[in-house]
Amino acid sequence: MTAATLTGAPPAPARRPSLAAGLRHTLTLAWRSLVQIKHNPMELLDLSIQPVMFVLLFTYVFGGAISGSPGDYLKFALPGIIVQNAFFATMTTGFGLNQDLTKGVFDRLRALPVARWAPLAGRIVADTVKQAWSLVLLLGIGMILGFRLGAGLPGLVGAFALLLAFSLAASWISVLVGVLVSEPDKVQIFGFMVIFPLTFTSNAFVPTETMPSWLQRWVEVNPVTILADALRGLLVSGPVAGPVGQSLLWAAGILAVFAPLAVRALRRRV
């Protein structure tokens, strides 16, 4: 009777990994995403060549017409180019996530004692590191061309923190898109359809007062405009408290809306 009872007993439910174990899983999977760059260097080139081309082309093609000289225009445009690049870089989160989903990576990880949230968190952490790389690269190219920090080291640290925080929040939009679409290429299509109009209808590249009055109303509330103004204040000079506060509010709003939607969609898919 005892043997029969023990034999027929249901298996004990698997224990969920602890928070510390989940953090270790997250860092391991983030490292996996970063190591892939060695095998696919084009991924890093996409985050490097395109923003550098934007800096060179906008500075030397439009700088004289808009600001009178490339040097003056660089002070105005470089923060805007950094913001545009950050928005485009968030699309890599959804692209990589969709690849993992379609190739069955998430299915294989579910069979292992890995925290369920670790694959998604690892992808976001890895892409945040790539964001930091892009920011360092753009600032380095800008300084070679003559850009100088007006607010010193505190402004630089604040700009890094603000941009990474906003990018972390905005990446949840990409996560939601990456979960919902069937192919990775559709994530890129969404990025071009949304991010290009969003960045070019802002003051990232041209002053707001040069635009039609009906467009200025949108430009003033555009999150790209607000974040670009915040980075100008932190990196060059100008108002800081207002734009930074509004940028953080935008980031909190995006996070509050898209993070729950993305997590719910991911649970349904996997």
Dump pLDDT digits (tens) for 212-248.
Answer: 999 999 999 999 999 999 999 999 988 899 999 999 9
**What is the number of domains present in the chain?**
1
Q: Is residue 109 part of a domain?
A: yes
Mean pLDDT of the chain: 84
pLDDT score of 185 more than 50: yes
pLDDT score of 9 more than 60: no
Q: Is residue 20 part of a domain?
A: no
Q: What is the DSSP string of the chain?
A: -HHHHHHTSPPPPPPPPPHHHHHHHHHHHHHHHHHHHHH-THHHHHTTHHHHHHHHHIIIIIHHHHHSSHHHHHHHHHHHHHHHHHHHHHHHHHHHHHHHHHTTHHHHHHTTT--TTHHHHHHHHHHHHHHHHHHHHHHHHHHHHT---SSHHHHHHHHHHHHHHHHHHHHHHHHHHHHHSSSHHHHHHHHHHHHHHHHHTTTSSS-GGGS-HHHHHHHHH-HHHHHHHHHHHHHTSS--HHHHHHHHHHHHHHHHHHHHHHHHHHHHH-
Mutual angle of helices 49-57 and 118-145, in 10-degree steps: 30
pLDDT score of 7 more than 70: no
Name the pLDDT band for 6 (thresholds 50, 70, 90). very low
Q: Is residue 6 part of a domain?
A: no
Q: Could you tell me the pTM of the whole model?
A: 0.85
More confident call, 182 vs 264:
264
State the virtual CA torsion across 123, 128, 134, 137 in degrees, nearest 10: -120
Q: What is the C-alpha to C-alpha distance for residues 248 and 259, in angstroms, rounded to an integer?
A: 16
For the segment 52-57, the average pLDDT, to the nearest whole number, is 87
pLDDT score of 5 more than 50: no
Query: According to the model, what pLDDT value does residue 179 have?
Result: 87
Q: Is residue 7 part of a domain?
A: no
More confident call, 69 vs 250:
250
Q: Is residue 247 part of a domain?
A: yes
Q: Is residue 121 part of a domain?
A: yes
Domain hosting residue 130, numbered range: 35-269
For the segment 47-63, the average pLDDT, to the nearest whole number, is 85
pLDDT score of 68 more than 90: no
pLDDT score of 11 more than 60: no
Name the pLDDT band for 15 (thresholds 50, 70, 90). low
Q: What is the C-alpha to C-alpha distance for residues 226 and 241, in angstroms, rounded to an integer?
A: 11
pLDDT score of 190 more than 50: yes
Q: Is residue 136 part of a domain?
A: yes
Q: Is residue 24 part of a domain?
A: no
Q: What is the C-alpha to C-alpha distance for residues 91 and 84, in angstroms, rounded to an integer?
A: 12
Query: According to the model, what pLDDT value does residue 43 have?
Result: 67
Dump pLDDT digits (tens) for 130-177.
Answer: 888 888 889 999 999 988 888 788 899 999 999 999 998 999 999 899
Q: Could you count the other beta carbons within 10 Å of the beta carbon of residue 31?
A: 14
